[in-house]
């Protein structure tokens, strides 16, 4: 397997709002951080939010954000991680370390990805997931960080927990996976909706309908790399340099220019994550 060809450069700098550079894709040469950032910068993806899903990933995200001005970190325990840690009696200890990492510097801009995932975790894991999600919400408020939510097959419960805890000032629905009605529910609560390569899939009409009702000042874009590679490269590995494919499909769906959408996404990202950070030269 090979990396997909490089798409046409975007007309204005855009941010990959959710990436896992520490997760090597299968059956392809691994890109170093420098290679990943250079390929991204070549198509005008000049900044990246690196997301940690467990303790090693969160530590890696923080160290990488400290080392590269174009990267900021998001730290959390993925909802599927919470039941495993709870069963081992280590959930509270892990949450305490995430809390410490969250306060380690301005290069940490988000608490995420946290939330609920009922696809891989059954009823036996829900209690731990809910507890972990609530603790991450409180963490985001305590540190004045954005809350980055992972939501899979759990729309109603995610909203119920947010309503009960009180939604943070800045909340991002990572890899938005709902329909137009759910999009409006999230928007009404002040959330940003981050669209991944899935919005380009032929069978994802619900996501394109959701995009159409999302106010332009709430739209973000992401890769979730190395996963969710946009069309026409489904089945190949994903990386930040492929975001132009997603952005151009989104702009076409919205009936606006790629330049206008890029500018919207860049401004929205700054608002979502609490200010600018240096671009990669």
Q: Note whether 122 and 154 are within 8 A (CB).
A: no
Compute CA distances 31 → 28, 99, 206, 238, whole Å.
9, 30, 33, 11
Residue 151 confidence (pLDDT) above 80: yes
219 phi and psi, to 5 degrees?
A: -90, 130
> 159 in helix, strand or coil?
helix
- Residue 280 confidence (pLDDT) above 80: no
Is the model's pLDDT at 279 over the cut of 90?
no
pLDDT confidence bin for 281, thresholds 50/70/90: very low
Give the model's confidence band at 98: pLDDT under 50 very low, under 70 low, under 90 confident, else very high.
Answer: very high
Q: What is the pLDDT of residues 55-81, one digit of tens each?
A: 999 999 999 999 999 999 999 999 999
User: For residue 43, what pLDDT band results from cuts at 50, 70 and 90?
Assistant: very high
Q: What angle do CA 248, 255, 249 make, to 5 degrees?
A: 20
Which pLDDT belongs to residue 26? 84
Helices (H), the chain: 33-42, 55-67, 81-87, 91-102, 126-143, 155-165, 180-188, 205-213, 243-254, 258-272
Tens digits of per-residue pLDDT, 216-241? Answer: 999 999 999 999 999 999 999 999 99
Residue 103: the pLDDT is 96
Give 254-270 pLDDT, tens digit per residue: 999 999 999 999 999 99
- Mean of the pLDDT values across residues 149-177? 97
Looking at domain 14-272, its CATH class is alpha beta
What radius of gyration do the chain's Cα atoms show? 17
pLDDT, the chain, mean: 96
Domain boundaries, the chain: 14-272
SS3 label, residue 29: coil
Confidence (pTM): 0.96
């Amino acid at each position: 397997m090979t990396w997909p060809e490089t798409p046409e450069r975007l007309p204005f700098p855009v941010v990959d709002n959710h990436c896992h550079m520490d997760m090597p894709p299968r059956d392809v040469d691994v890109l170093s951080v420098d290679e990943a950032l250079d390929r991204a910068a070549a198509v005008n993806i000049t900044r990246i939010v690196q997301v940690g899903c467990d303790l090693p990933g969160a530590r890696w995200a923080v160290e990488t954000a400290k080392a590269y001005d174009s990267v900021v970190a998001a730290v959390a325990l993925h909802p599927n991680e919470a039941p495993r840690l709870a069963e081992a009696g280590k959930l509270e200890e892990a949450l305490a370390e995430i809390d410490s990492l969250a306060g380690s510097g301005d290069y940490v801009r988000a608490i995420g990805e946290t939330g609920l995932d009922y696809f891989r975790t059954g009823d036996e894991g829900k209690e731990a997931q809910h507890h972990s999600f609530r603790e991450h919400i409180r963490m985001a408020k305590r540190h004045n960080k954005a809350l980055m939510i992972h939501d899979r097959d759990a729309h109603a419960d995610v909203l119920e927990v947010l309503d009960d805890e009180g939604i943070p000032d800045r909340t991002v629905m990572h890899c938005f996976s709902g329909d137009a009605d759910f999009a409006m529910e999230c928007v009404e609560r002040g959330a940003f909706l981050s669209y991944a390569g899935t919005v380009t899939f032929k069978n994802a009409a619900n996501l394109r309908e959701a995009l159409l009702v999302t106010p332009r000042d709430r739209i973000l874009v992401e890769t979730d790399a190395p996963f969710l590679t946009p069309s026409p490269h489904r089945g190949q590995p994903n990386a930040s340099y492929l975001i132009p494919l997603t952005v151009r499909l989104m702009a076409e769906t919205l009936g606006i220019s790629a330049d206008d959408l890029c500018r919207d996404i860049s401004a929205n990202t700054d608002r979502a994550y609490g200010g600018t950070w240096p671009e990669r030269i």
